[in-house]
Structure 1
C-alpha cells in the first residue's frame, strides 16, 4: 500500500466522520447535545483530544502509564543500592519494556521506551573499558545495544502503527455503515407511512373523470339559469385540463366574445371578430373547422387560437345557421392533434341550446374553482407541454404553428410535433 493510498484513505475517513457528525446532530436529544457542548467547551478539552485514541501522533493514555512505570523502575535501580543490577542480566531486561510498548502502541511509544532505557543505562553507569581495549571498540561494545533498542522500536513500532491505522479506518467504515443502515431503516419506515397516507387519500378522494365529463355534458344539454357556466367549466376541466377556451356568439357585426375559461389576467387574444376578418369569414361564411396544425388554418387563426369551430343552430335546420364559435387558445400538447376539432365539436353541440336560448349574453370569466370538480384534474394528462398562442403572433404576418410557445411548467421546453415530427 503506497503513501498516496494511505493519504486517500485518511481523507475518506475524515469525510465520513464529518458526514456522520452532520447527519446525526439532529438525532441527539437536547440533553445529549448540551452535554456534548459542555464537554467540548471544557478547560482541559485540548488535553483529552491530544491523548485520544484517534490521535495519529501520540499513543493512548495507557502507554504513558506503562512508560511511567518503566521510568520508576529505572529510578529505583539508580537510587537504591540494594536493587538488583539489571546490567548484569543477559539479555538486558530493558528489552521487555521496549518490545511490549512497540508491539502494543506503535513506534512513538517504542521510541520513548528506548529513550528511557538509554537514559537509565547512562545514569546507572556505563561499563568500564578494558585496559588494552581500543576506544572505538569500547564505543561499539557500549552503544551496540542502545542502537539496537532504537532500531527495533522503530521497525516494530512502524509495523504496529500501520495496523492501528488500518484498524481505525475499518472502524470508521463500520460506524458509517451502521449510520447508513439506521438512516435507511428510518427512511423506509417514513416512506411506508407516506405511501399508506397517499393510498388512503387516493381511495377516498378519487372520482372518475369520465363521470364528471358525462354529468357535465348532460347538464349542458338541459341548461339551467345560473348553472350553465359552471357546467361548461366542469366539462372543460374534465376533457381538457388547463386549457384556455372561449365562447363567442354571432351577431350583425361578426363574432362577439361572451364567455372565457382559464384566460390569464392580461390575455393577448382578441374578444371580437368582424364578419370580414379571416377568422370570422371562415366560421360564419365557410362554416368550417380550423386547426393550427394545418398550415392554411394557421394563417386564418393568426395567433388568436389553436382550434376554432362553429356552433350551429340546434334542431338540424337546413341550411345550417352558425350561432357562435367555440375556440381553444391554450391546450396541453398531448391533446392537440388533427382530431381535436372533432372532439371539440361534441362540446359545441351540447352548448348550442344555451346559445340559441340566449342564456349567455355577457362576457364571463371562468376558472377551475368555479366548477364542481374533484381534487384530481385528469390524471391521464397530469403534466406535459402546454401550447398557447402568443401576442407576437397576432401582429404582422402569420407564423407557422411550430413557432408557437411550448411551455412546460411555465418554462420554455422542447416538445414533439402533434403530427409526429419534432418541434422546429
Structure 2
C-alpha cells in the first residue's frame, strides 16, 4: 500500500503535459497537433476555393481564432502555443502585406505581427489556466485514489478483525464446552478399577485434545501393547504392538521424552506414525506405565497449549492408573467383589480344594459351572464390566444359597460357580436357567456366552459320571450332542484385551 501512495504522489507532482507516452509528439498531444493542422488545412482550402485568397486578411475576427482558443482551453499551454504559431505561419507565410510609402516601419511591423501576437498571448493565458486546472484535477484524482486505497485497506482490516472476533468467539465457546467435557471425563478417570480408568482415559483425551485418532499403550514386558485405539478402523491390526527395538519406544519409554512432530529432532523417531507421543510416568516413583500416542489431529489444534495439555493428561492417566492398581492390590485378597456382588477370583482356589475334600468325605456331588464371554476381546471395557455386574445379579437369582459363585480374574474372563451337592443333570438345569436370565437382562447385547460343566467330584454309581475324572463337557454337547453357545449379534467394540 505504501508503494501505491508514493507512485500516486509522484504522478500528482508531474506536469500533465510533460508526461511522455505513445500519444505524444515532443511532449505535445498527438490529437491536438492533428486537430490544429487539419483545421488550418480546411480553412486555407476554403479560402482558396470560396474566398479571395488573401488568407482571410480582411475578415474580423480572423477564422484562425477558434482553433487557437479551443486548443489552448482544451489541452493547455504547449498545444495552445503550437496552434498559435501554426496559425501565424499559415496566415503570414508568403502573405505579407505590401509596405506603402510614408509608413512607419514600427507601424508596419505591428500591422504584420499584431494578430499572431494576440494569438500567442491568448494561447499562453488560456493554456496556463487550463494547466492549472489539469494540475488540480491530477491532485484531486491522486487524493481520490489514496482515499479509495485507504478505504479498501480499512475495509480489509475490518473484515480481518471481524473474522478474528468470530474465531475468538468460537474458541471461547469451544473452551467452555471443553472445560465441561474435561471435568466430566476427569470424573470417569478417577476410578478405583484400572479398567475403568482406561475407559475414562479415552474420554479424557478426546475432551482435552480433540484428536481424530489416538492410541494408549501399556507396558507388557519388553514391548508396548495397545489397549485403546480411538478412531482407527475396526478390523485394523496394525500398531497394536510396539517393540523395544523401535526408535519410538526407545525415545518415549527409554528416555522419557515427549515427542512432537513440530520439532525437527523428533520427526525421525515419530516417523509417519504420530503427531504427539509421550510416556505415562507416575510422578512419585518415576515408573513408566505405558505411552499415549496421537496419530491425527487438526492443524490449528496443534499448538503450545495442546502440547502442555498433552503432558498433563499423560501424567493424569498415569497417576490414576497407579492409584487404581494400588487399590486393586489392596483388595486382591478380599473374598467378596463389591462390583459384581459375588466372591472374588482369588478366593476360588482355596474354596474349590476345601469343598472337594468335604465332598469326598461326605460323599456328595460337586460340579463346576464355567460361564465365559467368548468375544470379550472385541468388547469395550465398560461393556465387559457391565456384563460382569449383570452376570453377578443373574447368579444371585439363579443359584441356591449353598452354591458359591466366583468372579472372573479380569472383566470378560471366566466366571466359575461351584454347585454343591449337584449332579451333572441338575447342573444342566441351573445352566439353562442362568442362560435364559442372561438373555432377558442383556437384550441386543453384542456379548456371546458359552457354558461349560466340569465334575469335581461325583459319588460312585452316578449315571452321569464321565469316563474320566476332570473332563470338560460343554452344555451344548450334553444337551444335543453338538456344541451350542448363546449367540447374539456382535457389535465390534473400541477396546481390545
TM class, shorter-length: 0.3 to 0.5
TM-score of the two chains, using structure 1 as the length reference? 0.42
Does 1 or 2 have the higher relative contact order (CA < 8 Å, sep 6+)? 1
Over alpha carbons, which structure has the higher Rg?
2
TM-score, length of structure 2 as denominator length: 0.37
